Chain A
């Protein structure tokens, strides 16, 4: 059979990717229109929120006289969005795909396959970059004299900004995945490696940015009156190409523009070429199993109760699926990091250390707001707890192995209980470490108790609620875990609901502290999470009584 030319082959392969996306969103053969409309509505809502936030950020920068720093920030925002997107999506889309054997056997060039796999990621990256940078540029061009060439440069930079970072993120993601899959607990290893990479990037950027701005302390800054210069330098230190984009838009620099566009186009082309040259090896590296330790692990262990055995199985699933662990445990890591930071630096020092959305808190202000801060602090931990819902997609994740769950001689309560228990074991460990860190750092024990109760309550309540939703209508027909781990209704309702509830309860607690006093806010901080827990467990109990439906039950 003749090999199809790359151009001819690309269209059907891209069409396959698009169909896969629609299938993943629930649009299947005319069914699920409501789900698709719901997904579109949610995307529009989130996009609207992002645009509003970026517009406010841009306007704030203009208001404090930092308009000149906006182009660099816009380039950085577009780049970071692409990095995050590609880092999460590349495994399973570009490499380690379930349909690799199928596409590898097609009579098309490897380059076309790689292009078809990477193009959607670049496309989403560009869309995200435009979404985030357009409001910033709008605020910028309303504040400075409009030059048509600058507008063209801004548009081009918006489109180009995510390309080079996305290309690099693809390679880094491939490297991390290739290392992680060689371990039995690949999920945990991938989580640790990703946290290390992100931490290194953030700390590196902070150090570079901090070094450049340290020279301009408050007095110098006041003397110079150049907030924009300081911010631009900080951003450029963190991500040098942002300075090229900024010079192209702000100063009309042709060299800066050429350098930025050249880098943005050449790096993806280079990475695509490299991936095409070694695609089979890259896939093999990203999908190879762990090192075999046959004799060490072949002995049967002692007997355990069904609940314990099933909970251990759930923990092993989390540990073995990097994507799952990354998405569902990040809140727990943030919780521990937040507790560590508060213990090490102190909450007051953290609050007075920088500018938050254009507002700088000083020591006097923090002291005056002590009651409100103590009232709100537990909800930081509640927020992190509600973001850590490993149980949310756990029924759907049974997928092709769901026959085991459906035919096992245990009730639905035990089955669902084991999934919630695994979630609580992870959450409990993180909460315990956080509480110890807070106590060691000198936080008042009663406040630590509120933090622990809030985190545990929000985690339990929203994990149980999300699990109930998943158990009531599991999606066993997913093609990639992302469909249920990231885009599934249980995760969306659980995490979004948990986040909004935490913010709302935090606000109410702060109001209570201001109007009724510390006792009232403490009582609220202890009662609200318990109510959430009872509500979530009630929903889960109701679903468990009906049983877990398997494939073909809705016939």
Chain B
């Protein structure tokens, strides 16, 4: 069996004794785009921050291409890139200085970085703003800048938290194309979103979290069935609904 790019096993996270995410397991294979959906406060960002090494799990393991994120952090982090839900980057740098910093930290050589920066900033229409300080950027421009930075080193795993928030329609379209290209090239994409239509159309697999528990995970068609993803989601996260199913819907 092919080693998953992202492998989360029995992940659990507590904040001061309060369980935020309990016993969550999922895997994303090479070439897959996985959408992660859930209501506000369900635990999406909690899991994502642990996946990228920004917050340790209370228990469980997270592996990226076989590297344990918390035992071999540098090796795991070299293979992935992260786009946070709020693209807060260093205000005091210009866009180009930020990209140079990212490229240096990820060890991208000068020739390759010039080529990648030119290509990606042209696609996301950011080229003309690279000399300006980040403090002058709008939310959408910061989001684009972080996206360009995340793609500079051709990551095997791309982790994005609400990546479509703040993007204009053309950038949003271009991002979808880029994500498909990453998957086609053998990489994997794991992203959270509240835009269910995008998840439905873009993702090969989908994971649904409710109150810290994974209530559905599997191929999008399987989770959706004959209904729309929105209908299934609303049914799954409905508070009036009974307790979470003992076995998640569509669990592989």
Contacts and interface: CB of A to CB of B under 8 A. Distances in A.
Contact of B108 (A303, A403, A411, A553): A303
Interface in A379-401: 399-401
B132 A292 contact: yes
Nearest to B149: A404
Contacts of B53: 406-407
B41 interface: no
Contacts of B107: 306
Contacts of A509: none
Nearest to A300: B114
Interface string A284-298: 000001101111111
Contacts of A403: 49, 52, 54, 82, 84, 88
A536 interface: no
Interface residues of B, number: 53
Contacts of B95: 298
Interface in B53-106: 53-56, 58, 73-75, 77-78, 82, 84, 86, 88-97, 99-101, 103-106
A292 B136 contact: yes
Nearest to A304: B104
A411 B74 contact: yes
Interface string A408-452: 111100000000000000000000000000000000000000000
Contact of A298 (B46, B75, B131): B131
Contact of B96 (A292, A299, A407, A551): A299
B23 interface: no
A310 B105 contact: yes
Contact of B100 (A301, A319, A409): A301
Contacts of B101: 309-310, 312-313
Nearest to A402: B54
A555 B15 contact: yes
A96 interface: no
Interface string B5-21: 00000000111100000
Contact of A410 (B105, B129, B131): B105
A26 B244 CA distance: 39
B105 A309 contact: yes
B131 A296 contact: yes
Contact of A303 (B49, B74, B103): B103
B106 A409 contact: yes
Q: Which residue, A184, A310, A400, has most C-beta atoms of chain B within 10 A?
A: A400
Contacts of B58: 555
A305 interface: yes
A409 to B, nearest CB: 4
B199 to A, nearest CB: 23
Interface in A24-38: none
A552 interface: yes
Nearest to A317: B92
Nearest to B95: A298
A518 B10 CA distance: 67
Contact of A290 (B74, B75, B84, B133): B133
Interface of B: 13-16, 46, 49, 52-56, 58, 73-75, 77-78, 82, 84, 86, 88-97, 99-101, 103-110, 113-114, 117, 127-133, 135-136
